[in-house]
Amino acid sequence: MAPINETFEYDLVVIGGGSGGLACAKEAVGHGAKVAVLDFVKPSPRGTKWGLGGTCVNVGCIPKKLMHQASILGEGIHEAQAYGWNVSPEQATINWPALVEAVQNHIKSVNWVTRVDLRDKKVEYVNGMGYFKDAHNVVAVLKNGTERVLNTKHVVIAVGGRPRYPHIPGALEYGITSDDIFSMPTPPGKTVVVGAGYIGLECAGFLKGFGYDVTVMVRSIVLRGFDQQMADIVSSAMVEKGINFLHKTVPTSVEKNSEGRLVVKYRNAEGQEGAEECDTVLFAIGRTALTEDLKLENADVKYNDDNKKIPVNEREETNVDGIYAVGDVLDGRPELTPVAILAGRLLARRLLASGTDLMDYSDVATTVFTPLEYGCVGMSEETAVKEFGEENVEVFHAYYKPTEFFIPQKSVRYCYLKSVALREGDQKVVGLHYVGPVAGEVIQGFAAAVKSGLTMKILMNTVGIHPTTAEEFTRLNITKRSGVDPTPATCCS
């Protein structure tokens, strides 16, 4: 099919070959557009680089979930003996190089499939660093240093972000980030994780599951942006697993001692100083949007000076006609792969197929893959109280006991869930929160229910699947306001 607008070389150029950019590009060619995708990965300070597909595929969701699964399997070996399996937990140790090889082989296969998919769909892939010459001309700096100008009607910025390093001595020289952990050739050993967001906690969780000593350094609070009661439960469950937390603490330097080990010096909120000797320092203190190399000023595109992110309106439009942005580069939007994918598809439909649907950024479900997982959708309890007033919010909650935990006598102390609802009428549910096994699988279905206007009346009249942990949402009937103990007596009544 001929290009939609013959006055431009391309109908759409996408800068960034991650989830959001690729989804937008593939949707666009499906509607007859001529599309090019620019993608280039700068090596991390430790020299790590990867192929096409963006953060999620290469150094995010996919390798993280695979390593989390490896950790769960290790725990399962210890539990299997209680169930009658003739296994020897004492011999169960992680082969780090073998794990890394398996994970990286899968990633490389995804990289290859992604390139083949672009070719089959007639999306032009340009392995080059993109920047703006002006609003309708994007320059691709190719690997050999030559430049190529792509003239286009529309531009979508989907460059995502990369981890930040703290401005302390030794951080860049000795530290790593999530960009590096999944492909490290040697075992990480004793690890200090600096940062207590979801990335830091997830990495700390699977490393401890592999048998490595882990310390998490928390500057302010755990899981900022999430429900804080649930965040405290998650971190307490990690402490129970043997993960050490240093609260209200920031690193001041990273050094290498005479034995070749790293020493992280730190200071807490009271001014007390200390040091932690380790083999690996992993920084997980946040991410910065990759906008500095785009030369946005050439196209007059505005961005946030603090985090380098780009503000857009409800149509993902920047301040410049014809220039849009999707994914983690957006200011004030959830940094989640499925969000970027759907936003990219909807944007392409509006640009090229008379689509009218806008991306709904509310009630987006997510899961933190810590050893005891945390899934949630909708508002935190704090946000609901702030928006509606404490007197207008009812919180239903319960502890529960997963059936599969009984025989190996696993701790059920932190298996907990709650529903944040409005008090009026049928009590509309505005937030669901769950800590326990397979949280992502549990919360996904309930996310659709919340988007559809779920009420406590409906939830309480839904028959659960027994015995499952997801069923516990249908059994919620005790409110925090009542003061009644939310601990169940039995599982079947």
Residue 54 region by backbone torsions, left for phi larger than 0, else alpha for psi between -120 and 50, else beta: left
Compute the Cα dihedral for 323, 327, 330, 333 and give only its sign. positive
- The answer to whether residues 37 and 28 touch, using CB atoms and an 8 Å cutoff, is no
- Residues contacting 363, CB < 8 A, separation 6+: 377, 378, 447, 450, 451
- The answer to whether residues 22 and 37 touch, using CB atoms and an 8 Å cutoff, is yes
136 a catalytic residue: no
- The Cα 138–Cα 158 span in angstroms is 14
* 117-122 contacts, C-beta under 8 A, 24 or more apart: 117/26, 118/22, 118/25, 118/26, 118/37, 118/52, 121/26, 121/29, 121/30, 122/29
The secondary structure of 106-169 as a DSSP string is: HHHHHHHHHHHHHHHTTPEEE-EEEEEEETTEEEEEETTS-EEEEEEEEEEE---EEE---SST
- The answer to whether residues 310 and 302 touch, using CB atoms and an 8 Å cutoff, is yes
- The Cα 229–Cα 236 span in angstroms is 11
* Chain position carrying tokens 């990273």: 254
Q: Of 106, 154, 397, 466, which is the active-site residue? A: 466
- Residues contacting 27, CB < 8 A, separation 6+: 344, 345, 348, 349
- The answer to whether residues 308 and 291 touch, using CB atoms and an 8 Å cutoff, is yes
Mutual orientation of helices 337-352 and 19-29 as an angle, nearest 10°?
A: 30
What is the DSSP secondary structure assignment for residue 463, as one 8-state letter? P
Measured in degrees and rounded to the nearest 5, phi and psi for residue 457 equal -60, -45
Compute the Cα dihedral for 166, 171, 175, 176 and give only its sign. positive
Measured in degrees and rounded to the nearest 5, phi and psi for residue 220 equal -130, -75
Q: Which residues are designated catalytic? A: 466
